[in-house]
Chain A
Amino acid sequence: MSEPVKGLKRFVLGEFITPEACVDAARKLRVSGVQGLDAYSPYPLHGIDEALELPRSKVPLVALICGVGGAASGYLMQWWMNAVNYPINVGNRPMHGFWTNIPITFECGILGAVLSIFFGSVFGFFGLPKPYHPVFESERFRTASLDRFWISAETDSDENVPGLEESFRQVGAHKIHTVVENV
């Protein structure tokens, strides 16, 4: 790779063969005080959340708010449209039919929650779509979605890189790559 420029992010990547090794390494690295840790795996790893001390996810909260909001607006829509804005005698039924409003209210609630969950996580929590990420600089890293497990440590100065590579070696990384953000 070309001579790295100052100020750009460097990623030290370590490959592990088994998930257990990966989780174990992640824990060790965090304990040893390595910052900017992340792990990559083809499927969710058990215990990695604790290993990396990830905070509780906000997804359920978002879902709850948007779900309730959707339901409320669904009900209000029906009430306003049929009982307030365009009240007309339809088969001698009450203009504001509480029972008949329930189905659509329910569907609107679900819709609100679902949309918020999907787009909230994909765009918000995952920060996707993200066609480029420094870790993709390493061809080898492609195994991360297939059958290998990776840990990355992020830093923005070359000085830290050797130290990090060392600590990766100690926790038994099978291969170690360092990639630099490309501009």
Chain B
Amino acid sequence: MATPRQMLEPEPLITGHHDDGTLNKTLLQFIWNKAGRGWFALLFVGLAGTGLLSAAVAVTIAKGIGTWGNNIPIGWAFGITNFVWWIGIGHAGTLISAVLLLFQQKWRTSINRFAEAMTLFAVMQAGLFPVLHTGRPWFALYWLFPYPSTNHIWPQFKSPLMWDVFAVSTYFITSLLFWYLGLIPDLASLRDSSTSKRARIVYGVFALGWRGSARHWHHYKIAYLLLAGLATPLVLSVHTIVSWDFAVSILPGWHTTVFPPYFVAGAVFSGFAMVLTLIIPARKFMGFKHVVTLRHLDAMSRVLLCTGLIVAYGYLMEHFAAWYSGNEFESHVFFSSRPHGQFWWAYYLQMFCNVAVPQVFWFRRARKNIAVLWIGSVLVNVGMWFERFNIIVTSLQQDFIPSNWATFSPTWVDLSLYVGTICFFGTLFLLFLKFIPAIALSEVKEIRHEMHSAEPMTELEGAKP
């Protein structure tokens, strides 16, 4: 029976009695144990999908963008939709680590590594599309970078696509370094807790010879904090710039000042949804329940609700501006082609998933219910994909001059690329779970230590069977 104190207290961040040693064991066991059947089954699926992806990529490069569903006027479709979707997902990771670190949110520690990995892998997927979707990827690969070429032409920096190139590459590099810096001490723990010589050498190499010296920790803390401080505006800037890919144009449905905040919120929204989608099964099958507790899930679902509301506001503003401006082209997009056009169902699906679904998280019972949480998070991911699809395709579909208007239908290549990247992402994630501590070990120990010194009582009570 629960004591009054427990009722007042929030769920502890680490449940059960642990010291650093047991934390080591429980958190690293998944790495040291033999991989189970489930893991291999999933890996197989992932690899199969990755195969499909490479096939689709090969066809695209060999035959051309014609193998996609794109046309004139719909110059962008699945490719850019997937790009924005993946980039969006890629935002939660850094945001969780950085922002929550700055705000001293203790609960971040047990999910940040996980989220950062997700960021990296998501950005990798995203990075595929801007290159693939061009007509001549073999040039796009390097002509967008400012290098002194023999034809003496420089890139054109007024184009949002150039901003994109810089933003996304900066974001990837930053996330990678931020992630790796956080990883070094844990790699050292792996090196030192390894039993086989091979593991010791391999992890030793990646640990770079970290020995936890106080003189290093001294710089490490400030460096890590600074990276977090820089990553935070970066996250905001990246999706702002992604939104400018559209907002800077003159196309009705794209040409909107509300885009930057609403895209950033959408990115965090979808990012947190994806973290939930991944971590809920992970904590179950990898035995992280004691560090990724209901309290974490609860906190994340609150973020989901909050960002969901911002996104909803974005939708509202789009429609309001279209109506209030009295611009016939704008209002056609928002009141005719989206709700009644070829993809009307996508429009309503988007509204349901992104506006209606998050509202359940007003209720404590829903936030505590793992199943509801997971389904909710998956729906949000679906909704966010369709949001981007609607913004891109339906806006292009019916623009200024009606004789341009056309329909769109994806090809098998479009679908394979999308499914393929999901599988590739999954594959990378499985490997990450298997070979790298998915929970920031040193930080958890730090937390445990703080809790330990803060309130020994809870520890003892928690220790009761």
Q: Quick check: A145 and B209 within 8 Å, CB to CB?
A: no
B213's partner among A38, A43, A77, A121 (CB-CB below 8 A) is: A38
Q: Quick check: B209 and A77 within 8 Å, CB to CB?
A: no
**Is B167 among interface residues, defined by CB-CB distance under 8 A?**
yes
User: Which residue in chain A gives the minimum CB-CB distance to B200?
Assistant: A142
A44's partner among B211, B221, B244, B441 (CB-CB below 8 A) is: B221
A125's partner among B166, B177, B189, B216 (CB-CB below 8 A) is: B216
Q: Quick check: A54 and B230 within 8 Å, CB to CB?
A: no
| Contact string against A for B residues 139-159, beta-carbon threshold 8 Å, 1 for contact and 0 otherwise | 000000010000011111110
Residues of B within 8 A of A44 (CB): 214, 217-218, 220-221, 446
Residues of A within 8 A of B4 (CB): none
User: Which residue in chain A gives the minimum CB-CB distance to B20?
Assistant: A147
In residues 1-45 of chain A, which contact B (Cβ within 8 Å)? 19-20, 26, 38-45
Q: Quick check: B214 and A39 within 8 Å, CB to CB?
A: yes
Q: Quick check: B166 and A104 within 8 Å, CB to CB?
A: yes
Q: Quick check: A107 and B167 within 8 Å, CB to CB?
A: yes
**Is A153 among interface residues, defined by CB-CB distance under 8 A?**
no
User: Which residue in chain A gives the minimum CB-CB distance to B446?
Assistant: A43
Most B-side CB within 10 Å, residue of A101, A111, A141: A111
Q: How far is the CB of A34 from chain B (nearest CB, A)?
A: 14
Q: How far is the CB of B235 from chain A (nearest CB, A)?
A: 10
Q: Quick check: A60 and B222 within 8 Å, CB to CB?
A: yes
**Given A77-B146, A132-B209, A147-B21: A45 and B217 interface contact (C-beta under 8 Å):** yes
User: Which residue in chain B gives the minimum CB-CB distance to A126?
Assistant: B216
**Is A183 among interface residues, defined by CB-CB distance under 8 A?**
no
Q: Quick check: A114 and B177 within 8 Å, CB to CB?
A: yes
Q: Quick check: A59 and B193 within 8 Å, CB to CB?
A: no
User: Which residue in chain B gives the minimum CB-CB distance to A45?
Assistant: B214
**Is A180 among interface residues, defined by CB-CB distance under 8 A?**
no
Q: Quick check: A129 and B24 within 8 Å, CB to CB?
A: no
Q: Quick check: B162 and A118 within 8 Å, CB to CB?
A: no
- Bound complex: CA of A39 vs CA of B162, how far in Å? 47
Q: Quick check: A115 and B173 within 8 Å, CB to CB?
A: yes
Residues of B within 8 A of A42 (CB): 20, 185, 189, 212, 441-442, 445
Q: Quick check: B174 and A144 within 8 Å, CB to CB?
A: no
Overall SS of chain A's interface: helix
- Bound complex: CA of A55 vs CA of B146, how far in Å? 41
Q: Quick check: B214 and A133 within 8 Å, CB to CB?
A: no
- Bound complex: CA of A179 vs CA of B290, how far in Å? 39
Q: Quick check: A128 and B227 within 8 Å, CB to CB?
A: no
- Bound complex: CA of A80 vs CA of B204, how far in Å? 46
Residues of A within 8 A of B281 (CB): none
Q: How far is the CB of B120 from chain A (nearest CB, A)?
A: 15
Q: How far is the CB of B244 from chain A (nearest CB, A)?
A: 7
Q: Quick check: A86 and B446 within 8 Å, CB to CB?
A: no
In residues 114-151 of chain A, which contact B (Cβ within 8 Å)? 114-115, 117-118, 120-122, 125-126, 128-133, 135-136, 141-147
Residues of B within 8 A of A20 (CB): 453
| Contact string against B for A residues 37-80, beta-carbon threshold 8 Å, 1 for contact and 0 otherwise | 01111111100110010100101100100010000001001100
User: Which residue in chain B gives the minimum CB-CB distance to A83?
Assistant: B157
**Given A48-B217, A82-B154, A117-B223: A128 and B209 interface contact (C-beta under 8 Å):** yes
- Bound complex: CA of A26 vs CA of B157, how far in Å? 55
User: Which residue in chain B gives the minimum CB-CB distance to A109?
Assistant: B230
Q: Quick check: A97 and B158 within 8 Å, CB to CB?
A: yes
Which size class do A's interface residues fall under? 35 or more
Most A-side CB within 10 Å, residue of B19, B24, B215: B215
Q: Quick check: B226 and A117 within 8 Å, CB to CB?
A: yes
User: Which residue in chain A gives the minimum CB-CB distance to B175?
Assistant: A114
Q: Quick check: A145 and B173 within 8 Å, CB to CB?
A: no
**Is B413 among interface residues, defined by CB-CB distance under 8 A?**
no
Q: Quick check: A59 and B219 within 8 Å, CB to CB?
A: yes
Q: Quick check: A147 and B218 within 8 Å, CB to CB?
A: no
User: Which residue in chain B gives the minimum CB-CB distance to A81?
Assistant: B154
Q: Quick check: B226 and A39 within 8 Å, CB to CB?
A: no
- Bound complex: CA of A59 vs CA of B92, how far in Å? 26
- Bound complex: CA of A123 vs CA of B210, how far in Å? 12
Q: Quick check: A135 and B209 within 8 Å, CB to CB?
A: no
Most B-side CB within 10 Å, residue of A43, A52, A91, A108: A43
Residues of B within 8 A of A100 (CB): 157-158
**Is A164 among interface residues, defined by CB-CB distance under 8 A?**
no
Q: Quick check: B154 and A86 within 8 Å, CB to CB?
A: yes
**Is B192 among interface residues, defined by CB-CB distance under 8 A?**
yes
Q: How far is the CB of A134 from chain B (nearest CB, A)?
A: 10
A110's partner among B181, B208, B210, B234 (CB-CB below 8 A) is: B234
Residues of B within 8 A of A142 (CB): 191-193
Residues of B within 8 A of A97 (CB): 157-158
Residues of A within 8 A of B215 (CB): 38, 52, 54
Q: Quick check: B241 and A103 within 8 Å, CB to CB?
A: yes
Residues of B participating in the A interface, judged by any CB pair closer than 8 Å:
19-21, 23-24, 146, 152-158, 162-163, 166-167, 170, 173-174, 177-178, 180-181, 184-185, 188-189, 191-193, 204-205, 208-223, 226-227, 230-231, 233-234, 237, 241, 244, 441-443, 445-446, 449, 453
- Having A103-B166, A142-B192, one finds 8 other A-B pairs with CB under 8 Å, namely A82-B158, A101-B157, A107-B163, A107-B166, A110-B170, A125-B216, A143-B192, A144-B212
Q: List 26 A-B contacts (CB under 8 A).
A: A38-B213, A40-B212, A40-B214, A43-B446, A44-B214, A44-B446, A45-B217, A48-B214, A48-B218, A49-B218, A60-B226, A74-B166, A81-B157, A82-B156, A82-B157, A90-B156, A100-B158, A103-B163, A103-B237, A106-B233, A107-B166, A110-B174, A117-B223, A125-B216, A126-B220, A136-B211
